[in-house]
Structure 1
Amino acid sequence: MNIDTMRRIDAWVGVPACFFLTVIDKLISIFHTGRPGPIRKILFVKPAEQGATVLAYPAIIKAIEKVGRENIYFVVFENNRHILDVMDVVPEGNIITVPTHGLFKTLTGFICAILRIRKEKIDTVLDFEFFARVSAIICYLSGAKRRIGLHTYTGAAAYRGNLMTYPILYNSHIHTIDTYRILFEAIDAPVQKLPALSLQGKYEQAYDLPKLQPGPNDIREVEELLNRKFGQGKIGPVIILNANASDLLPLRCWARGNYIELARLLLDKYPQAKIVFTGAPDEAGPAEQIVSQVKSDRCVSLAGETSFRQLMSLYTIAKVLVTNDSGPAHFASMTSIRTIVLFGPETPLLFAPKSPGTHTIAAGLACSPCVSALNGRHTKCRDNICMQAITAEHVFAQTCKAYESSLTSACSCNSWP
């Protein structure tokens, strides 16, 4: 089921469902006004976007400190659970998955997830899908007495009823990693004072990020993959290009011609370097087309040929990753690789990976960012001039800085601008 279908269902079914449940909740509250009990089990609801799950890591760690790892649960789409497996912060048996291949299976998957949540008697639910109705519905039907999520106080964002017991105001001026941490820390806030939260200064500290340490077998598998592609012998320094072609937000894509030009420039400047294109299985075709146009035996595609763990291990071997604003940018922040991230319809001020090895590039046009949590990530734009304005020469210059820094300094990610 593609993203547009999900959005239509979320709007057509979600709006009346949220309204109906809000009315039911108001009627119930007339007879039941008891306070929620102590916090014993915490559920995170974040079905979509694996990259954002990395940004949720500090909040998850805080939750673990509060109730213990065995009492942390997570609802996620089946095809997005890989990042949770790699992060290894939520017990495997506590990850509740929902299938996305087919409308009927998705709907029944949500019902099964709600039944599982109620069976676990979870008392606290955190909604990390900013203004999705389906996540608000899951939170309400979970049976949890303490429900924390964003609320559209002034109608600026999508309507999703009044289903949160701790309704939090969305602040579009702070990074997403901080929004997640605020949602968690609101657990202990006095409800009668919301949406006001006295959290000044809490987010001037360093960010705790998960760090991946692949085992020898993981590294060996990736080296074998590379040897099959490049031939036996010394692989040499690897630069990864992620030519994302996902339909999640097509306006974020950088043109194929730019990747072709960038690959050629890098291969000409660095005779020892190898270029590897990565991507999901449905991106394998476009990636192979790009490689065929680069016309070099030092440029190959691994799109659709790696497991998620192998992809993460590849990041630990490679020197630089160039990608648009997408999941791989955040996955890479769990390793020491230098990363160049291209932003267009969204802003790095809210979504940049929190890694010292990350450098973001944005054209800075007056119309950008044009999508946000407040507009449901919808835009009238059909011509992404914000991405077209980012030239291959500009990205090449920044990639060279990152690459040369990686060759001279194994650890200091801050040694290049």
Structure 2
Amino acid sequence: MKLQTKKLIDCYLGGLLMFAMKPIVILLGFILRRDHALQVQGDICFIKMLGGGSLVVAYPTILGLRNRHPSSKFILISTNSIKESAHTLGIFDRIDSIDDSSLFRLVVTTLSCIIRNFKTDTVIDLEVYSRLTTIFSILMCARNRIGFYLESVFWRKYLNTHLIFFQRFSPTYYWYDAIAHILDAQPASIRECREKLFQVLNLNKGRDGKYRRIAIGHGCSDLSRERMLTSEQWLSVFEKYGCLQDGTELIFLGTMSEHTLADDIIKKISVKFPSVKFNNYCGKLSLIESLSALSACCEFWGIDSALLHYARFMGLKCTSFWGPTDPSTLLRPMPDIEETVMYNKVPCSPCVHIAEMPPCNGENICIQSLFKTNTQDSSAIWLINM
């Protein structure tokens, strides 16, 4: 199914089910009088359907919970799109996948996941904007159902046993970490996350200092493709900031859908920088193989994507370009890495998760504003060195 279809199903079907189930949940809560004390007494089930990058941002939170509750089984319910990302973190004992390729498969696999995780002790719903995931946690009859609420608490009140306010203009990781705190845990340190990631993926920490190898993350998920730069904009990036010299190698990482754009970027850049070596690995490597290639690089250049968050945890020097999303809400502080963040906060940014459709109708004027040649306009670019 297309992303827009999934969003419509979640909005209307999820809203209808929340309306229908709320009085039932309130009545059963009054009758059963279950103990909802915030103490983990069994398995913990996480729900995350979209956004592998968000799961990486939440890595310190989940690893901290894992350290605090080592005897609990950690389960993740997700879609196939982020299943591979979840495996790379090495913190889940089991990953139950929901197939959202069609409505029939969505229903069948969802029921299977609910039955398999019925009466799990604690459910943590990491999907801030989904309504159906709230329904999933209810149907699992978990003792504690932890989730988020936005401006209004009315619909999720009583459906979740514990709700955390999610201020979308504040750092996302702050609200993720709040889950660890209420369950008597501390988020893992960046160093511990880095050590764990290298251990799980069996990566070599040493990098060849003889060559400047740069990983390029030019693609992203279907959610807000407006984050992406054009091939012409990538050429401008390397002409202005790249300092590409002899011995430099650019490695393009991503999925098969991003392969053509990578070829186009390489075609344009190779004319200007003929001595640079290019490798387009988009669609040729699995995620684990891509992360292995990423760890062997000394730098990462890219947009807001899961690869950027992996690169930061690996300690690479990072240069990132932002538009529809705000870096201040997604970049967890990592004082030990060298980082340049390029973001021009135009009046309509951020719009992802704020507006149902981009105000620019997909023209991504926020990204375009980073490449304005007018001196007066270019002075408005925020170049943040972290």
TM-score (norm. length: structure 2): 0.83
How far 1:359 sits from its partner (Å)?
A: 2.8
- For 1:216 and 1:166, how far apart are their aligned partners in 2? 34
Asked if the contact 1:214–1:313 (Cα under 8 Å) also holds between the matched residues in 2, the reply is no
2:301 is matched with which residue: 322, 334, 346? 322
- Is the alpha carbon distance of 1:137 and 1:235 closer, same or farther for their aligned partners in structure 2, counting shifts above 3 Å? farther
Cα deviation for residue 57 of structure 1 reads: 1.8
Matched, 1:81 2:75: no
2:347 to 366, 386, 389: 366
5+ residue gaps, structure 1, are: 189-198, 224-233, 394-415
| Pairing partner for 1:123 from 115, 118, 121 | 121
Q: 2:326 aligns with which of 329, 347, 356?
A: 347
Alpha-carbon spacing, 1:276–1:34, altered in 2? closer, same or farther (3 Å): closer
Tell me the distance in 1 between the aligned counterparts of 2:175 and 2:200: 33
| Aligned residues of 2:164 and 2:175 also touching (Cα < 8 A) | no
Match of 2:74?
72
Flag the 1:208–1:317 CA change in 2: closer, same or farther, 3 A.
Answer: closer
Matched, 1:171 2:151: no
Amino acid at match of 1:29: G
Tell me which amino acid in the other structure corresponds to 1:339.
C
Give the corresponding residue for 1:10. 10
Matched, 1:239 2:214: yes
Aligned-partner SS, 2:350: coil
- Could you tell me how far apart the structure 1 residues matched to 2:233 and 2:198 are? 32
Distance in 2, Cα, partners of 1:65 & 1:381: 44
Task: Show CA shifts across 1:139-161 (max 9, x none).
Answer: 111110211111246369xx556
**Alpha carbons of structure 1 residues 246 and 215: separation in structure 2 relative to 1, 3 Å:** closer
Tell me, what secondary structure is at the counterpart of 1:213? helix
CA displacement, residues 215-247 of structure 1 (integer Å, 9 cap, x when unaligned): 99867xxx9xxxxxxxxxx99321122221643
Q: Following the alignment from structure 2 to structure 1, what is the Cα–Cα distance between the partners of residues 327 and 253?
A: 22
Change over 3 Å in CA distance of 1:317–1:280 after alignment to 2: same
Aligned-residue Cα RMSD (Å) equals 3.1
Secondary structure in 2 matching 1:303: coil
1:21 matches 2:21: yes
Identity %: 20
How big is the shift at 1:3? 1.8
Residue 272 of structure 1: aligned partner: 247
Aligned to 1:45: 47
Q: Distance in 2 between matches of 1:36 and 1:217?
A: 40
Q: Which residue of 2 aligns with 1:60?
A: 62
Distance in 2, Cα, partners of 1:134 & 1:209: 34
Q: Which amino acid aligns with 2:131?
A: R
Q: Secondary structure at the match of 1:341?
A: strand
Distance 1:217 1:366, change over 3 A: closer
Q: Is the contact made by 1:148 and 1:186 (CA closer than 8 Å) also made in structure 2?
A: no
1:33 equivalenced with 2:13 (yes/no): no
> Where does residue 371 of structure 2 map in the other structure?
391
Q: TM-score, normalised by structure 1?
A: 0.77
Deviation (angstroms), 1:95 = 1.5
| Other structure's SS at 1:340 match | strand
CA–CA separation in structure 2 for the residues paired with 1:64 and 1:274: 38
Q: Is there any run of 5+ residues in structure 2 with no aligned partner, and where? A: 374-384
The residue aligned with 1:186 is 182
